[in-house]
Amino acid sequence: MNRLPEIELMRLLHGELPPERAFELHERLARVPELAEELRRLEAAWDRLELPPASPAPSGFAREVVARVESGGLWSVAPTRVRAAAFGMLAAGLALGIGLTSSLARLGGGGDSSAAGTVAVAAPQVSETPGASIVPATPSASPSAATSGDRAGSSKGPAPVAPTVPTRTTPATPVPSAPETSTSDRVAELDYDLPAEDGAYADEGTLADDFWQAFDGTDSGASADPDTGSGSEGL
Amino acid sequence: MCHAGRLGERIGECYARRKEIRSEGLKERVGTEPSIAADPGWDALARTAAGDSIAFELLVGQNQDRLLRLCERMLGDVEEARDAAQEVFLKLYRNAASFRPRGQLFTLLYRIGVNHCLNRIRRRNLVRFFRFSDSGEEDGPAFEPADRRPGAAESMDARERWRAVRQGIDKLPPNQRAVLILAKFEGLSYREIAEVLGISEGAVESRLFRAMRRLEAAQESDRSTVSPAKRT
């Protein structure tokens, strides 16, 4: 049996078939009993399709819809495209913010030597661990540290970085006086641990160099002392 | 030849009359004439787009019964149908400015409504999938048809019939379900269904035929399973 006439049976049932085609199909129905049986079954199944009458709209339905529109504000009634665009902009802004924050953090983490100095100087002033605050604090606290004549101050090494640090740190540290004293105190405290005279820790300059290398990845001149012009061996 | 020609004319007349009867019956069910030459609904929609909430309220009032009925047929649940119909009207409101007047407004409403209901059905199926539940049992909400007919026995029979039909419809693939509901319960012509669903008339015909085949098979299996039980 051809499939096309079967499909056309539905059109025939609904009276949507053109008269000529209906006549042809009718002739075929007379010739092919299976097709006639199919039509009969389809018609019976169609007639059996019955559902309860639909519930009428509750009173005030229209008013309720309008109230929903009015109470929802602009956002709820904004076209889908507008809302999608707003969501997109929000997401883009969020991504941009996260990106900026992370790139700033990366800069502060050692990407740029001067920025590294900023963080290195600012952080130790609030830090409680003396070891972490010694060397980076020295450049910003150079007036006191340089004049103290101690070896920790003299061995801070990286002279080229030092001039840029105070200018950058000034806005970052609103109260400069108190941290400076505390830093020099800590440097002084450290001096007790450094047997400067006997040269047992003659490689202390190397400690500072390691520190700066860790920060800016540059070799600050391991043995060069800007003040003395000599290395740790000369101390 | 002459006889065949006359017979053809008579068959044509017969089916034209059948179509007429069908459209009359549908008019009773639908309540309004589906084909109006110049649909004033577009004007109301334009005023809605301009911010006229009274025009929108009128628009909702004119189409609420039709849309609620469609949603109820599609979803099989009165409460869910009300929610869905509200959301369809909200969608219409949101995008009122972007619709171009073409054809009848109810076609647009049906299109939004059918798509919305199909999305709801898909979401429901997705939820069911993640709940790992049996597809045969929880396809839709429990169907408890309200009976408005007198007579307890008739009422019971009718409820059973409705329940069986509802279950059969719920088991249809969504696209076939939409075509069947639009054709059988909304009384749209093949051309109108094609317009609503954005498919060809041939596709409407084929989907409807397949849907009927499935329903027929379901009815047959129901009869074969119910009959022995009734005998005992």
Q: Which domains does chain B have, with CATH numbers?
A: 40-142 (1.10.1740.10), 146-232 (1.10.10.10)
First to last CA, chain A: 109
Q: What pLDDT, on a 0 to 100 scale, did the predictor assign at position A125? A: 46
List of chain A residues whose C-beta atoms are within 8 Å of the C-beta of residue B9: 19
Q: What is the rounded CA–CA span in Å between residue B10 and residue B6?
A: 6
- Residues A119-146, mean pLDDT to the nearest whole number: 43
Least confident span in A109-113, A141-145, A185-189:
A141-145
List of chain A residues whose C-beta atoms are within 8 Å of the C-beta of residue B208: 10
CB A215 within 8 A of CB A166: no
CB contact under 8 A, A79 and B95: yes
CB contact under 8 A, A51 and B18: no
Q: SS3 string of chain A?
A: CCHHHHHHHHHHHCCCCCHHHHHHHHHHHHHCHHHHHHHHHHHHHHHHCCCCCCCCCCCCHHHHHHHHHHHHHHHHHCCHHHHHHHHHHHHHHHHHHHHHHHHHHHHHHHHCHHHHHHHHHHHHHHCCCHHHHHHHHHHHCHHHHHHHCCHHHHCCCCCCCCCHHHHHHHHHCCCCHHHHHHHHHHHHHHHHHCCCCCCCCCCHHHHHHHHHHHHHCCCCCCCCCCCCCCCHHHC
Q: What is the DSSP code string of B95-123?
A: TGGG----S-HHHHHHHHHHHHHHHHHHH
pLDDT in tens, B162-209: 888 888 898 899 999 999 999 999 989 999 999 999 999 999 999 999
Of all residues in chain A, the one with the smallest CA distance to B20 is A15
Q: Give ∠ CA B27-B32-B35 in degrees, rounded to 5.
A: 90
Closest CA to A127 of A186, A206, A176: A186
The pair of three-digit structure tokens given for residue A40, joined into one six-digit string: 């009969």
Q: What is the rounded CA–CA span in Å between residue A41 and residue B166?
A: 19
DSSP structural state of residue B137:
T
Backbone angles phi, psi at A129, to 5 degrees: -90, 120
Residue A81 has pLDDT above 80, yes or no: no
CB contact under 8 A, A46 and B64: no
The pair of three-digit structure tokens given for residue A164, joined into one six-digit string: 């840029």
| Interface check B218 vs A, CB under 8 A | no
DSSP structural state of residue B139:
S
Q: How many CB atoms within 10 Å of residue B156?
A: 11
pLDDT band at A148 (very low <50, low <70, confident <90, very high): very low
Least confident span in A105-109, A150-154, B195-199:
A150-154
CB contact under 8 A, A54 and B19: no
Residue A149 has pLDDT above 50, yes or no: no
The pair of three-digit structure tokens given for residue B1, joined into one six-digit string: 């030849």
List of chain A residues whose C-beta atoms are within 8 Å of the C-beta of residue B91: 80
Of all residues in chain A, the one with the smallest CA distance to B166 is A51
> Which of B65, B143, B179, B212 best tests the A interface by mutation, with the highest count of A CBs <10 A?
B212
- Residues A199-223, mean pLDDT to the nearest whole number: 45
Backbone angles phi, psi at A169, to 5 degrees: -80, -20
pLDDT in tens, A29-64: 999 998 899 889 888 888 888 887 777 888 889 988
CB contact under 8 A, A62 and B93: no
**% residues pLDDT > 70 (chain B):** 69
pLDDT in tens, B111-145: 999 999 999 998 888 887 776 655 444 455 555 55
> Least CB-CB distance to B93: which of A58, A61, A77?
A77
Residues 95-134 of chain B whose Cβ lies under 8 A from any Cβ of chain A: 95, 97-98
CB contact under 8 A, A68 and B90: yes
CB contact under 8 A, A15 and B212: no
The pair of three-digit structure tokens given for residue A75, joined into one six-digit string: 């956002």
